[in-house]
Amino acid sequence: MLTLSGPEIHPVQGAGEIPRSVDVAIVGGGVIGVSAALHLARQGVRTALFEKGVVAGEQSSRNWGWVRMAGRDLRELPLMLRAHKLWADFQNGNHGDTGYRRCGIVYASKTPDARRRHERWIEAAAPFGVEARMMEPGELAQAVPGLARTFEGALFVPGDARAEPQRAVPLMASAAIAQGAMIHQNCAVRAVETAGGRISGVATEHGRVSAGTVIVAGGAWSRLLLKGLGLSLPQLKILSSAFRTAPIEAGIESCASFSSFALRRRLDGGYTVASSAESLAQITPDALRFFRTFLPAYLAERRGMSLRLGRDFIDEALRWQPRDGDRPSIFEAVRALDPQPHQANLARVRSALTEALPAFRGGVAVQSWAGMIDTMPDAIPVISTLDSHPGLVVGTGFTGHGFGIGPAAGEMLADLATGRTPASDPRPFRFSRFTDGEKLSLQYWL
Ligand SMILES: Cc1cc2nc3c(=O)[nH]c(=O)nc-3n(C[C@H](O)[C@H](O)[C@H](O)COP(=O)(O)OP(=O)(O)OC[C@H]3O[C@@H](n4cnc5c(N)ncnc54)[C@H](O)[C@@H]3O)c2cc1C
């Protein structure tokens, strides 16, 4: 039995014996792989998803549960608008309560400079049809009862939402199964395999499955999976910690970020709280390898980013190596990335929370957890086919904001897998952007 310090995950009744052959094999049972499976199954495509642990055992159950357009990279906005529609349709579709509520999202502007950035984003997002506006300090104080700090105002997107990470993705997985997808948990993919210059299937710990198309949606493991195919995905891992409170009547329904902390109302009446400004990066061989590529992203985040040299350096150098499909791999040795939360960071979050919102002084942190975020140098994902590997589709690198956009990203992956035209342009998310000479650009609005 897998024990996780992370939040309790809604169980999924997966499939038994693995099939010998399918049209599409998916690696990874997070929001991205599961959404792709759901869309493929709806199209009647014979699909099997392989998850080394349990559905949503990594990032997809550990995130804050924000479903946001607010401050999002403009290249992702068409997908995010589509994602809101898919979330709403799923919530209304008798699949169970995902916790999806259009509660609005608020980003308080701490400084005049932050306020200007927020104003610029509102202007830039308007042509996409995003309804957003600035709240003045008085209105912010009304929207967040008891706020004991003053801000320059706040970016407010009323159509944004929250959802319940521990329920949403498992419910989507159950819906995919009901539509005919096969979901195999505790079934690691050791390697994606090729034959005759194209993808031929996956080697799992329980045997081989042939498939003309393989979708790699392995979150923080995608770089390693693709390395086995001779591909270099510039992806790093960042640790992010969170805690939840016991149920409390604080009167705050919108998700809200106050730079030193951020909170979201949970279905159980408590709040998920975390730092919107702090994270921890391990110094590993990959971090050194991609130092230059990630430098602009690091400089943009450096005030909140701590660097740590520890056991992960040796671990990555020795254990995070591709193996052939016949031998046990690290994928079955590590069923779920379940890192220790950064307690010093959470102590600072707790003190910022209770200082700004005294109503939380009696509120207890009943559980803390952490997740490993998969990040890309330009902070947008890869959602892409690869000319060099016919049959391979990659959906990864969501850089800390893949939960909300997940349903639409999964739909785009399903369309790329079956050759349908996606609902919006996938070009910004192509894998080849790291090598085709176009300069990577990083948008920083929040
Ligand atoms: C603390 C935290 C807060 C966040 N807050 C938000 C938020 O509020 N809103 C938001 O939109 N996003 C948020 N995110 C980011 C979001 O959770 C992720 O972007 C999203 O969940 C990524 O989904 P995924 O499916 O790509 O990866 P994951 O959910 O990590 O899933 C990948 C899965 O692949 C499996 N896997 C990997 N390799 C193999 C293999 N070889 N064989 C079989 N299975 C394999 C793993 O076990 C894992 O379950 C947050 C993340 C964290 C950690």
Averaged over 409-414, what is the pLDDT?
98
Averaged over 274-292, what is the pLDDT?
89
Taking the CA of residue 372 as reference, the ligand 1 atom at the shortest distance is: 53
Averaged over 245-264, what is the pLDDT?
95
Taking the CA of residue 402 as reference, the ligand 1 atom at the shortest distance is: 19
Provide the pLDDT confidence category of residue 364 given band limits of 50, 70 and 90.
confident
Taking the CA of residue 331 as reference, the ligand 1 atom at the shortest distance is: 41
CA proximity to 228, closest of 314, 310, 326: 326
Higher pLDDT, 259 or 97: 97
Confidence check: pLDDT of 278 > 60: yes
Distance 113 CA to ligand 1 centre (A): 32
Integer Cα distance of 148 and 77 in angstroms: 33
Taking the CA of residue 53 as reference, the ligand 1 atom at the shortest distance is: 47
Nearest CA to ligand 1 atom 38: 218
What pLDDT is attached to residue 15? 85
Confidence check: pLDDT of 439 > 80: yes
Confidence check: pLDDT of 7 > 90: no
Average pLDDT across the chain, whole number: 95
Distance 53 CA to ligand 1 centre (A): 12
Distance 428 CA to ligand 1 centre (A): 21
Q: Residue ranges per domain, the chain? A: 21-434
Distance 157 CA to ligand 1 centre (A): 24
The burial class, CB within 10 Å (0-12 / 13-18 / 19+), for 62 is buried
Among 24-28, 137-141, 295-299, top mean pLDDT goes to 24-28
- Ramachandran angles phi, psi of 367, nearest 5°: -160, 140
Nearest CA to ligand 1 atom 13: 401
| Strand, coil or helix: 375 | strand
Distance 226 CA to ligand 1 centre (A): 17
Confidence check: pLDDT of 30 > 70: yes
What pLDDT is attached to residue 261? 96
Nearest CA to ligand 1 atom 15: 400
Distance 204 CA to ligand 1 centre (A): 20
What pLDDT is attached to residue 308? 87
Summarize pLDDT for 302-333 with one digit per residue, the tens. Answer: 878 888 888 888 888 888 999 899 999 999 99
CB atoms within 10 A of CB 443: 17
Taking the CA of residue 225 as reference, the ligand 1 atom at the shortest distance is: 41
| Strand, coil or helix: 155 | strand
Provide the pLDDT confidence category of residue 436 given band limits of 50, 70 and 90.
very high
Confidence check: pLDDT of 3 > 60: no
Distance 71 CA to ligand 1 centre (A): 20
What pLDDT is attached to residue 212? 98
Residue for token digits 């946001």? 68
Taking the CA of residue 190 as reference, the ligand 1 atom at the shortest distance is: 41
Distance 150 CA to ligand 1 centre (A): 34
Taking the CA of residue 405 as reference, the ligand 1 atom at the shortest distance is: 11
Taking the CA of residue 50 as reference, the ligand 1 atom at the shortest distance is: 43
Confidence check: pLDDT of 4 > 70: no
Distance 30 CA to ligand 1 centre (A): 5
- Residue 137, CB-side half-sphere exposure with 13 Å CA sphere: 9
Averaged over 337-366, what is the pLDDT?
92
Q: What is the DSSP string of 278-293?
A: -EEEE--HHHHHTHHH
Distance 299 CA to ligand 1 centre (A): 24
Confidence check: pLDDT of 32 > 70: yes
Distance 179 CA to ligand 1 centre (A): 23
What pLDDT is attached to residue 1? 36
Q: Using a pLDDT cut of 70, give the percent of the chain over it.
A: 99
The ligand 1 site (C-beta within 6 Å) comprises 27-33, 50-53, 57-60, 62-66, 188-189, 217-221, 225, 240, 242, 331, 336, 371, 373, 396, 398, 400-404
Distance 264 CA to ligand 1 centre (A): 19
Summarize pLDDT for 124-182 with one digit per residue, the tens. Answer: 999 999 999 999 999 999 999 999 999 999 999 999 999 999 999 999 999 999 999 99
Confidence check: pLDDT of 2 > 80: no
CA proximity to 382, closest of 226, 246, 153: 226
Integer Cα distance of 350 and 261 in angstroms: 8
Integer Cα distance of 79 and 407 in angstroms: 9
Taking the CA of residue 369 as reference, the ligand 1 atom at the shortest distance is: 1
Nearest CA to ligand 1 atom 18: 402
Of the listed ranges 4-18, 115-129, 210-224, 254-268, the least confidently predicted one is: 4-18
Averaged over 424-430, what is the pLDDT?
98
Of the listed ranges 6-10, 316-320, 367-371, the least confidently predicted one is: 6-10
What pLDDT is attached to residue 306? 86
CB 156, CB 136: distance < 8 Å = no
Which residues, 6 or more positions from 137, have their beta carbon under 8 angstroms from its beta carbon?
A: 150, 151, 152, 153
What pLDDT is attached to residue 196? 97
Averaged over 393-401, what is the pLDDT?
98
Architecture of domain 21-434: 3-Layer(bba) Sandwich (3.50)
Please state whether beta strands 47-50 and 182-184 pair in parallel, antiparallel, or not at all (unpaired).
Answer: parallel
Nearest CA to ligand 1 atom 53: 371
What pLDDT is attached to residue 5? 63
